[in-house]
Amino acid sequence: MRQLIDKLKANRVLSEDEFTELIEKASEEDREYLFSQSRELAGKYYGNGIYTRGLIEISNYCKNDCYYCGIRKSNEKASRYRLTEEEILSCCEVGYELGFRTFVMQGGEDGYYTDDRMAHIISRIRSAYPDCAITLSLGERSKESYQRFFDAGANRYLLRHETADEAHYKALHPQNLSAAHRKQCLFWLKEAGFQVGSGFMVGSPGQTARHLAKDLLFLKELGPQMVGIGPFIRHQDTPFAKYESGSMEQTLLMIGILRLMFPNILIPATTALGTIHPFGREKGVLAGANVVMPNLSPLDVRKKYMLYDNKISSGVEAAEGLADLEQRMEEIGYHLLVDRGDCKKE
Ligand code: SF4
């Protein structure tokens, strides 16, 4: 297996069969070897610095019905909210004071945020915080929409592809959604000029090692600047309520593999990883991640953005808990940076 890991490090890609074998058969020892390599590569580009992003969850309304998601439109138990422009701006103000230089506006696919409304919000943040990056995570929109947001001053866009395999995609989403269209959106975002982030859930219902191998190969084709992955975690009020959650071990393995494939990109240690294990975030960093994304949303709405059960939004996961997060990073030999945190050039 070491040979495969060395080959991946040298070529930054493997064949579908080789990836499948690595994912299925890597032993504890192989994984430790892989992580030593992935940490070294992350260190080469980013030293021991970890970038922070201030996450603002602007709306939990969504027109979609993804089977795994706690804020899907059919979940009548979800208590819905959306932030006003002023509320979003005041989150940025608090975040800037705390040291965040990237704001991530994330939400369900909520028709309230028309192109006009969104472009207005983006341009206000852009003029108030010229030294900050603006990241959007607002799902699938038209090519024109993406271009407008970029022209208004947004820099980055996160849109996980979730699974690159069309049949698996159909098993996770209603029939009106397709992997092909999601991929198309990612390429539109690149054309518009965005730094693009994609990613997938690990351990989603029906997922096999071969699906994960295909996800990796799709990412190679896309050439993203960011990749966010986290374990699938079930939500009690969804059709997937009875499925087992994905494992931390497999998520960490995928982070390590991604770092070998893309030495210079931004890989977050995600909230989902911090949710399934108290030290999931630290373990993510030690597997090659270099970004954390504490929650800057107003306190009263945080519990409502419940994508999966028990999603954490307080303590070190909260922007106010930054000092604790800093301490936890220091305990593993890393430190948080006050920086926009763009993807380093090769
Ligand atoms: S995963 Fe995203 S698009 Fe799907 S229902 Fe949830 S918020 Fe909406």
Q: What is the per-residue DSSP string for 84-114?
A: -HHHHHHHHHHHHHHT--EEEEEE---TTS-
Q: What is the pTM of this model?
A: 0.96
What pLDDT shows up at residue 313? Answer: 66
pLDDT beyond 70 at 316: no
Contact 286, 48 (CB under 8 A): no
pLDDT beyond 70 at 315: no
Instruction: Give me ligand 1 centre to Cα 173, in Å.
Output: 9
* Percent of residues, the chain, with pLDDT higher than 90: 87
pLDDT beyond 90 at 302: no
**What is the rounded average pLDDT for all residues in the chain?**
95
What pLDDT shows up at residue 96? Answer: 95
Q: How confident is the model at residue 128 (pLDDT cuts 50, 70, 90)?
A: very high
pLDDT in tens, 22-37: 999 999 999 999 999 9
If you average pLDDT over residues 158-171, what whole number do you get? 98
Instruction: Give me ligand 1 centre to Cα 197, in Å.
Output: 16
Cβ(140) – ligand 1 distance below 6 Å: no
Between CA 162 and CA 21 the distance in angstroms is 21
Q: Which of 222, 231, 163 is nearest to 197 (CA)?
A: 222
Determine which of 83-87, 108-112, 290-294, 317-321 has the lowest per-residue pLDDT on average: 317-321
What pLDDT shows up at residue 311? Answer: 74
Given ligand 1 and candidates 63, 71, 136, which is best to mutate, with the most ligand atoms within 8 Å of its CB?
A: 71
If you average pLDDT over residues 124-135, what whole number do you get? 98
What 3-state class would DSSP assign to 23? helix
Q: How confident is the model at residue 304 (pLDDT cuts 50, 70, 90)?
A: confident
Cβ(62) – ligand 1 distance below 6 Å: yes
If you average pLDDT over residues 61-90, what whole number do you get? 96
Between CA 72 and CA 66 the distance in angstroms is 6
H or E segment at 334? none
* Percent of residues, the chain, with pLDDT higher than 70: 99
What pLDDT shows up at residue 310? Answer: 78
Cβ(158) – ligand 1 distance below 6 Å: no
If you average pLDDT over residues 306-329, what whole number do you get? 79
Looking from the CA of residue 107, the nearest atom of ligand 1 is 7
If you average pLDDT over residues 56-83, what whole number do you get? 96
Cβ(66) – ligand 1 distance below 6 Å: yes
If you average pLDDT over residues 83-110, what whole number do you get? 95
Instruction: Give me ligand 1 centre to Cα 344, in Å.
Output: 30
Maximum pairwise Cα distance, the chain: 55
Owner of token pair 């979800």 = 78
Between CA 107 and CA 41 the distance in angstroms is 32
Q: How confident is the model at residue 256 (pLDDT cuts 50, 70, 90)?
A: very high
Q: How confident is the model at residue 320 (pLDDT cuts 50, 70, 90)?
A: confident
Between CA 34 and CA 288 the distance in angstroms is 10
Contact 74, 103 (CB under 8 A): no
Determine which of 20-24, 148-152, 302-306 has the lowest per-residue pLDDT on average: 302-306
Looking from the CA of residue 65, the nearest atom of ligand 1 is 5
Looking from the CA of residue 60, the nearest atom of ligand 1 is 7
pLDDT beyond 90 at 14: yes
pLDDT in tens, 258-282: 999 999 999 999 888 888 898 999 9
